[in-house]
């Protein structure tokens, strides 16, 4: 899950995610051929594909697979593109990450797939920091590309990196351009992370996600041209590649010359990058209550400027805002449905639960599910003889 920094990853910005105690898991055994056979306990569905001829055969095989299996195939295609020899396997795929809830279920499946290929291919490669074939960040980048080819969604690296880099009781500050990262303490015995699921599912590839990315690219180009026109000797302006490179001061000076929709999109991203750094400073100082306040502001930006929220997400944030002891809340993930993340004092969790159970059905016409999550470790495996 992402504490703060939504839609900044594909703009070269900063994100502040944490891996949580929910999993996508494979249980299976190695085959001696190039066939992968899978059974999904969630979808009650079977899938089979071949590792032979990848990545060239990806498109052909993809067309005959259910959506969830395309991610597993996509990871295989990217691993073989990296000259890693894979073996087939039989496995059951299961897990408890909410699907389509903004909690990175596809990234969890991709990282689990990479770990499964490493294990079932007799350790043809390994994932880790020291003496490993792939570092966690390289694995995240590989799985990001797998998602893009499997889904058509031009996602950033946030979700995959969070799944790979997770550590117990830690959040990760990730620079999505340099891919440098560092860990921050994220543990307060008096505060819980509460995830509330709207029950609304979204399909990002057919939503406005890719459109937002295109708008950000157009805004970047227009702002660079405007700044260079006024300041032709400004080398920093000439090197602007992404919205991350535009300072808040530059944006304020030139934003009126952008079309209204681009002004909103760029304004949100530039401000959200600043919010990430503000939350980092507050966490380092142990001021989690002050950090919570920034979540409210982030949600308002996602709702009003980036326009990726929905009535159900707004309802949950509004309900949370009226419960004493809720330090902050916002929508989480790509938007248009999914979950909210809430920082809540422990003594207020029951009050928040009751408020949601009483008010949300009336406001949204559906029920919401509520869960408490904790920062947890990244991928791993267990071998059973």
Residue positions annotated with a catalytic role: 159
Give Cβ neighbours of residue 385 (< 8 Å, ≥ 6 apart). Answer: none
Q: Which two tokens stand for residue 323?
A: 């419960």
Measured CA to CA, the distance from residue 313 to residue 333 in angstroms comes to 11
Measured CA to CA, the distance from residue 85 to residue 36 in angstroms comes to 14
Give the full edge-to-edge strand order of the sheet including 24-30.
24-30, 89-95, 35-40, 45-50
Tell me which residue of 210, 181, 192, 261 sits closest to 16, measured CA to CA: 181
| C-alpha dist (Å) from residue 158 to 78, 194, 356 | 18, 20, 29
Q: Which two tokens stand for residue 359?
A: 């008010």
Peptide bond into 55 cis (omega under 30): yes
The half-sphere exposure of 321 on its side-chain side, counting CA atoms within 13 A, is: 15
């Amino acid at each position: 899950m992402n504490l703060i920094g939504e839609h900044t990853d594909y703009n070269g910005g900063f994100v502040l995610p944490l891996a949580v105690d929910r999993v996508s898991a494979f249980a299976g055994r190695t085959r001696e051929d190039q066939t992968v056979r899978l059974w999904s306990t969630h979808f009650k569905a079977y899938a089979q594909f071949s590792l032979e001829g990848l990545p060239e055969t990806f498109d052909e095989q993809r067309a005959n697979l259910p959506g969830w299996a395309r991610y597993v195939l996509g990871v295989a295609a990217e691993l073989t593109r990296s000259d890693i020899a894979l073996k087939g396997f039989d496995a059951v795929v299961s897990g408890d990450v909410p699907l389509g809830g903004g909690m990175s279920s596809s990234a969890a499946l991709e990282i689990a797939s990479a770990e499964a290929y490493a294990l079932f291919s007799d350790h043809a490669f390994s994932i880790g920091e020291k003496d490993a074939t792939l570092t966690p960040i390289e694995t995240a980048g590989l799985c990001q590309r797998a998602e893009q080819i499997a889904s058509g969604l031009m996602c950033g690296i946030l979700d995959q990196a969070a799944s790979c880099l997770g550590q117990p009781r830690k959040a990760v500050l990730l620079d999505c351009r340099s891919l440098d990262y560092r860990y921050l303490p994220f543990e307060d015995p008096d505060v819980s992370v509460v995830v509330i699921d709207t029950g609304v599912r979204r399909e990002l590839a057919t939503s406005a996600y890719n459109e937002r990315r295109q708008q950000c690219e157009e805004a970047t180009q227009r702002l660079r041209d405007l700044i260079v026109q006024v300041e032709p000797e400004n080398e920093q302006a000439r090197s602007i590649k992404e919205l991350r490179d535009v300072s808040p001061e530059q944006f304020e000076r030139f934003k009126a010359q952008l079309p209204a929709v681009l002004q909103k999109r760029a304004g949100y991203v530039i401000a959200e990058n600043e919010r990430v750094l503000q939350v980092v400073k507050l966490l380092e100082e142990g001021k989690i209550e002050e950090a919570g306040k920034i979540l409210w502001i982030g949600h308002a930006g996602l709702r009003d400027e980036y326009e990726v929220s929905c009535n159900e997400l707004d309802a949950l944030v509004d309900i949370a805002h009226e419960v004493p002891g809720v330090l902050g809340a916002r929508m989480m993930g790509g938007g248009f449905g999914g979950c909210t993340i809430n920082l809540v004092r422990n003594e207020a969790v029951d009050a928040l639960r009751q408020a949601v159970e009483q008010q949300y059905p009336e406001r949204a016409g559906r029920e919401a599910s509520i869960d408490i999550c904790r920062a947890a470790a990244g991928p791993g495996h267990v071998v059973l003889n």
